[in-house]
Amino acid sequence: MQSTRGMTLVEAVIWVTMTSLIMLSLMQSVLYFYRTNSYAIEQGLAVTSGQRGVDNMMKIIREAAFSSNGAWPIISMSPTSFSFYADIDADPFIEQVTFYLTGNSLIRAVVDPTGDPPTYANPEVTNVISDNVRNTEQGFAVFEYYDVNGNRMTDLSKIAEVRFVETTIVVNINPNRLPNQFTLRSSAMLRNLK
């Protein structure tokens, strides 16, 4: 007669311990991969959003035009903001548009003209075109301006001389974690000022 031998207490403890250690290490691996991949996905979405914002911004800057009341196309320019007139919605009027960096957000502000003759007294409508912009922290200007000869402008009060605008956007959802920031660059010639 063959006896069936059950598991001893020591064998049961060893089996439970080994199973627990294996499960714990598997859970830690899954959590590690989840954290790593979720951050990469978030960073990828932030870069895609930034690229869309830059593309849209450059498209609008290219269309800078004289205002509906005849004012010069460029209103003001600085390293972190650019204000000008452009038709952004294909209506008969030219809107006042300002792109500016505030905190870590790149903002577009639009003022529609009103009245006859048109004035730009309406409240501005703003929307965020890109989050997680780290230009200030990284020491990058958002906008750089060039004259008709292609020389970088240092006197930003000479608004009549600008013909070309270059933008640099540094995107990073968390500067304290890898991967490092992603830099987006684009440029636009002001078509109506040739």
- Kind and range of the H or E run holding 11: helix 9-62
This model's pTM is above 0.95: no
- Kind and range of the H or E run holding 120: none
Looking at residue 185, its pLDDT comes to 94
Highest mean pLDDT: which of 23-32, 75-84, 173-182? 75-84
Residues 162 and 35: their CA atoms lie apart, in Å, by 46
Looking at residue 43, its pLDDT comes to 80
Quick: pLDDT tens for 126-176.
Answer: 999 998 899 988 889 999 999 999 999 999 999 999 999 999 999 987 767
Residues 68 and 163: their CA atoms lie apart, in Å, by 20
Count of CB atoms situated within 10 Å of the CB of 122: 14
Percent of the chain topping pLDDT 90: 56
- Residue scoring higher pLDDT (57 or 9): 57
* pLDDT level of residue 193 (50, 70, 90 thresholds): confident
* Sheet strands (E) in the chain: 74-77, 81-86, 95-102, 105-111, 125-130, 143-147, 162-171, 182-189
Q: Please, how many CA atoms are within 13 Å of residue 137, restricted to the half-sphere of its CB?
A: 17
Instruction: Report which residue type is found at 191.
Output: R
What's the whole-number mean pLDDT along residues 25-35? 84
* pLDDT level of residue 107 (50, 70, 90 thresholds): very high
